[in-house]
Structure 1
Amino acid sequence: MGRPRRKVSGALNRAPALPLAIMLGAVFQSGEAFAQQEASQAAQPLSLADYWSALRDALSAEEIAALSLNLALIAFAVLAAILYVRTKAQFSAYRAKAEARRLAIAARADRAESLLGADEQILISWPGNGADPDIQFNSAAVPDGPRDKGQVLSFETWLSAESAAALEQAVANLREHGKIFDLMISTRGGTPVEITGRTAGARAVIRIRGATGQQRDINELRERHLKQSRELQALQTMLDRVELPVWVRDEHGALTWVSAAFAQAAGAKTRDEALASGAEIAPAATLGEMAKARQAQALFQGRAEIGSDQRKMELTEVPLRTGSAGLGIDGDAASRMKSALEREAAIRAEILDRIDTAVAVFDASQRLTFCNKAYRDLWHFDPAWLIRKPDFDEVLEKLRAEERVPTPPDGMDWREWSASLVDTAGSEVRTSEWDLPNASLSLKLETIPHRDGGSTHLFHNLTESLDLQTRLSAQARVQRQTLESLTEGIAVFGQDGKLKLSNPQFARMWELDRKALKAHPHIDGIIADCRKLHAAQEDWVTLKQSVCGFLDAREPISRVMERNDGMTVALSTVPLSDGATLAVFTDITAAKAAEMALRERNEALEQAAELRGNFVSNVSYHLRDPLQSIIGFAQLLSDRAMTPDPAQQREYAGYILSSSSSLMTIVNDILDLASIQTNVLELDIGAVDVRETIKTATDALKDRIAKHGIDLAVDVAPMAERMEGDARRIRQMVFGLVANAVAFSDEGGKVMVDAFGDGDMIAIRVSDQGPGIPERYKSRVFDSFETHSQRDGNRGPGLGLGLSLAKGFAEKHGGSIELSSEPGEGTTVTVRLPRNQAKPAEAAAASEDAGAGMAATPSHE
């Protein structure tokens, strides 16, 4: 018994680690083996209970629990599988049924949409939740209805005002109260429209479609009936307000309608009472005459006394297709009205006789009923003939016989043309031109038709007007040609600031588009286009204020505009009598240049005159001194009585030679200055020994230097000893500068002359310790004949040519000269000259600049 038990126990202990099917197989196999063993031992059959009891005895509690759990899981899985298969079958059946239902609904929707689309209509459906409506739009539903879906709900844009109001009210009642409606209304173009409103659950639905033939006819009849009813009501109301007895009878003579005045005259309280009683206002005799007239379908007119007050009335009854209508007018009032009309006609005739337009009035039978004095004078008709009241054809025939009518237009004969003149069909005024060469007249005929079939003819004499127009056109042409030929730019601006008139020169001067100017632009736009040539804000503001300003006194303005392109334009404005402003733009560039040239020439002449004056005042003094010395000593030598000894004669001769040399120097300086200013001075270029040149120049002044105790220092740097130039002119230049420094130095003062290299230039500098030059004189120190004494008792300034000549010689060499001086600190003059003159072109250019500069560049000594 022990060994099988261990086998079963071991199999069951390993069961949880096996798959469920293997584990169950092992259990049942162990149980069967155990049962077979027990059966062989007992040799008797076992029941299921015994089998289970034996199995329970063979298994432990844990093994029984595991087996129970596995059996429960198997049962749950089998049950879940059965439920899944069953549920899946039910869901498949439900889905098939739902799909069939969906297809049926879709088919019904397609059929409904097809049926709705087949009918030319517009459907509007509002959901019950207040959301936007659904609109099914068909443009063919209403021919002159909404153009698109967005216009459908804007009823006032495609329905008449009355129809739109009615539809909006009906829609509001349908949506709020579920009140259905059927309307027959019309569009703004008069097309009848059938609109129905219904509810579908919570939805409100309206259908809009054009009326069918029968419905359209019914609607037209309804509209016509309503219109006639309104007109009849308005007419009856008006007749009641007139306070005249008015009545309407049927074909049997019975009253069908009377006015309030008729009822009152008949003694009835109301209109209905008068109709019910058949009361009349006319006597029996008059009523009999009226009946006879009705039977004869003739007009009745007569007088009768009506009412309790026996008022005299003018009675008129007019036959109609089905009955008659009558009117009573107060006889006295009619007489007064007739008199008033006659007076008005007389006044109108008197007024028309005073106008220059010829007027003729023809009645419905085309007979002349009135013509004014201008008409009679125009055609020279016999007054007796006019009294006969001729018809229009007679008038035309008479004018035709006198050849005073125009030839009928091409394609019309005389009868057609004359008939067209008296055709009163329609209400439009017709005009025609009458050109009468034989009478030298040009007329315009206006035919005004009357409602009663008559007409009024107005003849306007255009002869003088055409003549004036021709002359005006010719004058305008001349003015236009004149404006177009002017060299000034002309622009006329209106009170509103817009351009009214301009000539081509205005557009050319300011580079404007002529086509744009023809559109009459505003002055602001024109100014904006002109700013590219003249940007000065002040000038344009002044022009705009002159054109558009609200000023009590409109004054002309005058300005000069300097443009960016160098043109000078004179602007002047003239206020015109009609409020416009004339602006004139004149190109004064040439005149301005001529004026400037004249001014410059005048200044040059004034400077020349001043130079002449300075030249005479300076030169005369400096020439007089040496000449007087020469003359004096020459006279002494020529006087035998006073003839000195030979030694004194030699002294006198020395004085004469010295004065002659001074005179020669002055003359040479003047000639050199003139040569420089006229650009005829030529340099003798060669090698120059700067040290020797300075020494020669200063040696010529050693007596003057020694006389005043001047300490002269000369320093020439080795790099500045050689150069190219005109040695004589350089020596003359150094002489003048040193002489000028000595002249303005104090007794015992110091003068320094040094030369040094400065790149490609050699600088020669002359300095003194004199009083210096004040600031106000520095601008004129290089002027010709300019001399300034800075202290009393100076050693007499020279002719005023030293600095001027030095400047001219320096610039002639292609160099420069500069002066620095402060009052009380002396003066330094520095001349810079090129080391060589190897570039003739540059030297020539420098020479020309120097010559030109001498005419207007200052020089001072």
Structure 2
Amino acid sequence: MEFSPTALVIIGLLLAAWMVAAAWMMISAASKARRAEGSKKAARRMARMIDEAPAIPLLVRTDGRIEGSDRLAGWLGLDSLPEYLSELDGGVQRENGRGLSAEQLAELSENVLRAQKTAAPFRMALTPPGSQRSLAVRGVLADPQVSPGGAALVWIFDFSESESELSRLREEAARAKGDFGALVGIIEAAPMPMWFRGPDAKLQLVNKAYVEAIGAADADSAVAEQLELIESVDGLSAAQIAAQAFDKKLPIERIVATTVNDQRRAMRVSDLPLGKEGVAGYAVDIEEMEEQSREFRAFRDAQRSMLDQLSIGVGQFDADRKLTFANQPFRRTFALNSGAVSQNLGFEQLLQNARENGRTPEVRDFPEWRSEHADWFASGETQEEAWPLSDGTHLRIVAQPMPDGGLVIVAEDRTEQLALSATRDTLLRTRTATFDSLFEALAVFAPDGHLQLWNRSFAGTWGLDPEQLDAHPAAPELLELIAPNLEKPKQAKLIGEVIRAATLDRKEEAGRIALADGRTLEFAGVPLPDGNGLLTVLDVTANEQAETALRERNKALEAADEVKTRFLSNMSYEFRTPLTSIGGFAELLQSGVAGDLSEQGEEYVAAILDSVSRLTEQVENVLDLSQSEAGLLPLNKKRLDLLSFVTDVVREREAAISAGGITLDLRGNKASGKFEADPRQLGRAIGQLLDNAVAATPSGGKILVDLSKSKGVVQIVISDNGAGMSEHELKQLMQGEQSAKRQGLGIPLAQQMIESHGGTLELVSEKGAGTSAIIRLP
């Protein structure tokens, strides 16, 4: 069959159109397939995103059927998601604690039904029984594009972690609230003023103690009026100092004095910045602490002042082993300078310096020795050592650890004590040897009457056996042993009374007693400084005999003295009366009463008068010397001006001095003062010495009379430049022997008269150089 060209063209065209249509369809199908595959991938991605989302959607249709992910079943503890909402309680699985409880399911069903009917959204929280998972439910009416017909879309969120965190935060918030309440209560009840300031340094909160301290009505009024407790210091108020603490973000603490309850108190004030919130402050009353600190400082100063007065060295070290105090004896003992304390000298360095100065004992290993002594700080007991030093010093060292970790060192120089102890031992031995070597019998009794100490003579003196004293008998027992040896045994109680008076009454008493063998003992009780009593016994038998003889001789001497006294009285009359009569008759003859005398007769009368004068003077000297030696020379003392008195004595001999061609030099002044003396006797003494000087001085010679006073003693010197005397001649003159130029009797008389005034006479002579008589009057 043949086709026409037209048919072929038509067929071709149809085939071409079919081909085009087929191609278009293929292209369209491929495009749809690609779009379907993309939609499918998007759906899978969306489903996966929903599965991975923190919330799971649950579509609840009006008939109660539900659509959702199986992941929700796991959240509810179910094996798979049921078909209806009413089956979320787990059905048969409810017994195993799976699904929702009936109350939860009923509440959820009610909320879903309300949302389907009223389109009202709802929220609720679920916690499946037996599960720790917390679920948040958010329900709304589903969009018609999601599910037409009024279905409800429920979103379920797992906020278990958020719920735990919220629970923890709630607990912490509750605890913080409770703590804050407790803190506020503590702050309010605190005994110290406390306050809080805002960033502007203004008061925002004060406690009850603050209100009471400033005397405000209440806390609100104190805050409202900005009443400050702390006064301004150096022009800065409390608010300004708090602002500085806030700006610097550093706490500021200071001690100020302020008025609290009308009393000035010392307060330690602290301002503590609290970040951006403000500044907290509190004030601690340290008045008692300051008072105790002042008392402690005063006590420490008084203690150290007292320690400075001690003769024992005391040094104090702190817990760092530094020297904080050392009194003068301590510095002297260890050869420390005055700056050792201010330099905080260490303990080990002190020992090192002491060793260099020879103030520590010589040891073989000094570092080890020093380390051992440094352990004293850690020791809990008192340490005591004796340190013998190389210079012979003996130190007693006491180390007392202190509770604060320090150490007190006491250094006592016992050199003198040891020397005294040795001396005491020597004295005890000497006393024992002395006791035993004495002729007296000695015994020492204790206050209780027991015999403590005796010498060898004691037992023999009383006629006792020495072994009887070895038991240290009491006084009554000793008297029982002595009584049989006495002439009158009952007199033994006299000895007991003497012992009791010496030991108990602390009185000295004595007595005399006769023994049966004829001996006489004299005893005495003497209280000793140590409370004991000393009984001393002396055999006075020979003394008594000698005393009897002396008593008889004394009676004879007294009788002779009476004879001598009567003799002197008679001789004074017998000598003076004839001489007076001779002198009187001679003067009558010289005056011509018996007629005119021849020239030779006048010479005889003149010789008689001269002899009478000389003899009268000698008699006066003899009588005065005899009375002076017998102690019968009377003294009639008067207040004399010595210079005038001596001048008058010299002037009485002016004629004799001029006749002998002698020069006399009188030296003195009013400084010699006045003196209580008998003018006649003292004048005779000075005159006798002056007469001897005139007699011994040749013509052209010189006599010096010098008065002076030194240290309350008046000195009168009478010197001449005559021939002088040898030592032998001077001795004879002092014994009353007369020489060619000197009257020997006048010198002893002058000496006795001067001594009767309490003075002394000294003669100094040299052959060919003259003689000096030195009178010293007190």
TM > 0.5 between the two? no
Q: What TM-score do you get using the length of structure 1 for normalisation?
A: 0.30
